[in-house]
Structure 1
Amino acid sequence: MTKLHVRPGAESFFLPGNSTGILICHGFNGTPQSVRYLGEEFAAHGYTVYAPRLTGHGTHVNEMEEATYLDWIDDLHEAYLLLKQTCHSIFVIGQSMGGALALHLATKEKFDGVLTINAALSVPEYEVLANQVEPRFITEGKPDIKDLEATEITYDQVPLKAVFQLLNIMKVVKQELPKVKCPSMLFVSPEDHVVPAQCTDDIYNSVAASHKEKVILPNSYHVASLDYDKDKIVEHALNFIQSHAKNAIVAS
C-alpha cells in the first residue's frame, strides 16, 4: 500500500526532557492528539515524553483495515525501546485500548509504573459484532467526551477487521493481568459510554502490583484525557511518577 499522509495534528510526538521517560498510548480510533495535553503537561515538569501513533490510525481507514493488534503491540514496544536509550526510569500510560496495550507491555518489559485511563477489557458495542462478516465498515458516533468544546481526531467509521483486532488484544490482556507487577494507577470514569467502569475494577483486582490505586474521574466520559478531569489526571499521575521513579520491577 502507498504510504498515506498523517492527518494534521495526529502525528506522533516526542518531547525531550530528563532521564525519566513517560510513554503514552492513545486508544482505538484515536491518535496522539488525544493525549497531547497530558504529554505537554508532563514535559513541562521536565520529563521525557513519547506518544507514538499506532499503525492505521490518523491516516485512512483502509490502512487501519490492514493493521493487526500485533502491529500495535510492536508500535508501543518500539517506542519503549527508543525511550530506553536515554531514560533509566520509564512509565507507561494508556487510554482505552492504549491501556490494554500498556498493561500487556508491562508484562514484558521493566517499568517503574503503569497508568491506565478507562482501560478497555470490554467494549459491548463492538462485542456484538464478533461473529459478523459485514458490513466492511462500522459507523462511529461522536467521541465520548463530556466537554462539548473538546475535539478528537478520529475516523467517522472503522473497519470491522480492526474491531476484531481490538477484541483480540482485550482477550489476551485479560489473561495476562496477574503478571502485571509494577506499581499501578488506574483512572476510571464512572460515566463511560464506551468501556464499562467494571473493567477498571477487574484490572485492580487482578494485577499483582504491591502498590495499586484507583482514581475516580467524576466529571469525564470515556476520552478523559480531553475531558474536564484532564488536570486531575495530570496531578495524580505526577505524584505517582514522583513517588515511584527508580523503583522499577522486572516483569516475569
Structure 2
Amino acid sequence: MPLMPGAEPYHHEGGQVGVLLCHGFTGTPQSMRPWGEHLAAAGLTVSLPRLPGHGTTWQEMNRTRWEDWYAELDLAFGDLRGRCAEVFVMGLSMGGCMALRLAEVYGETVRGVVTVNPSLAIDVPLLRLAPLLKLFVPSVPGVSGDIKKPGVTELAYTRTPVRAAATLPRLWSLVQSELYRITQPVLVYHSPEDHVVKPESVRILRERLTNGNLEIVQLMDSYHVATLDNEADRIFSGSLDFIRTHASVPLQRD
C-alpha cells in the first residue's frame, strides 16, 4: 500500500538516551517529525514509527485496531531498550494515551512520559455510537488539522474510519484503570482551546496521578495538534529540559 508523501517513519541514531515518539489517531509521523528532529539535534536516539493503517488510506485503517497500533509502539520501544541505557516516551493525542500505557506496562523501564493533548476518554458523542455505527457507516468526517497557526497543515485522513475508532474506548478504559501504576515523572502539554479532545482527559490525569509526579503546562496559543502549532518550540525545548532533568546518563551533546 503506497504511503502518503511525508508519512514515513523517522529514526535517528544518537546517544544512550532514547525517545519513542507516538503520533495520533488517523495522523502520521509528519505531525511529530519536527519534534523528533529537535531531540535528535540534541544528541538523542529517536524512534518515530508509523502506526499500522496510518498514512495510506482510511479504508486500510478500518482493518486495524488499537492493539495493532500499540503492538507497533511496543516493538519500537523494545528496540530502543536494546540500544539505549534509558528510554523516554512521548505522544500526541491517542499517541499520548499509548505512551501512558507503555509506562503502565513497563514501569521504571520508561524513564519519563511527555504527552501533548492526550486522549483518554469518550468526550465525543459520536464515539459512543461507533460500535453500532460501524455496522452501517464505514467512515465519518475527520478530526484532523486542528491547528491555529496560519498556513500549517497536518498530514492525516480527512475521514475517520468508524470500525477503527470503535476500538478506542477499550484502550481508554484500560489505560484509565491502570494509571495508578505510573510513578514516573509525567509532563502534560494541554491546549484549553482544543477542538478534538475535551478537558476530561486532563481532569482524569489530575485525579489519578496524585503522587506528585504530574506537571501540566497550558498552551494558550495552540489548538489540538500543538506539535505543529504556535507553541511547538515550547514543547520541543520543554521536553528536552524534562529529559535533561530526569535522565541519569548524559545526553550525547551534553
Normalised to the residue count of structure 2, the TM-score between the two structures is 0.91
Shift, 1:142, TM fit: 5.0
Q: Look up the SS of the partner of 1:228 in the other structure.
A: coil
Q: Residue type of the partner of 2:243? A: I
Question: Are 2:198 and 1:190 equivalent residues in the alignment?
Answer: no
Ranges in structure 2 where 5+ consecutive residues have no aligned partner = 250-254
Q: Residue type of the partner of 1:63? A: E
Ranges in structure 1 where 5+ consecutive residues have no aligned partner = 248-252
Q: Look up the SS of the partner of 2:167 in the other structure.
A: helix
* Structure 1 residues 2-40: Cα deviation after superposition (integer angstroms, max 9, x where no partner): xx1221110111011111001000000101110001001
Conserved 8 A contact 2:23-2:94: yes
Question: Are 2:92 and 1:95 equivalent residues in the alignment?
Answer: yes
Q: Give the aligned partner of residue 111 of structure 2.
A: 112
Conserved 8 A contact 2:144-2:154: no
Cα distance in structure 2, aligned partners of 1:185 and 1:115: 5
Cα distance in structure 2, aligned partners of 1:125 and 1:153: 25
Residue identity over aligned pairs, in percent, reads 39
Alignment length (residue pairs):
244
Q: Give the aligned partner of residue 250 of structure 1.
A: none
Q: Give the aligned partner of residue 166 of structure 1.
A: 168
Cα distance in structure 2, aligned partners of 1:236 and 1:209: 21
Cα distance in structure 1, aligned partners of 2:210 and 2:41: 32
The structure-2 alpha-carbon separation of the partners of 1:108 and 1:239, relative to structure 1 and needing over 3 Å to count, comes to same
Cα distance in structure 2, aligned partners of 1:144 and 1:114: 23
Q: Give the aligned partner of residue 70 of structure 2.
A: 73
Cα distance in structure 2, aligned partners of 1:71 and 1:208: 31
Shift, 1:141, TM fit: 4.9
Point out the more displaced range, 47-56 or 127-136. Answer: 127-136
Runs of 4+ in 1 over 4 A off after TM superposition: none
Conserved 8 A contact 1:183-1:209: no
- Match runs of 1:29-68 below 5 Å: 29-68=26-65
Q: Look up the SS of the partner of 1:107 in the other structure.
A: helix
Q: Look up the SS of the partner of 2:2 in the other structure.
A: coil
* Structure 1 residues 123-153: Cα deviation after superposition (integer angstroms, max 9, x where no partner): 4154243332321111215511111211111
Q: Give the aligned partner of residue 229 of structure 1.
A: 231
Root-mean-square deviation (CA, aligned residues, Å) is 1.5
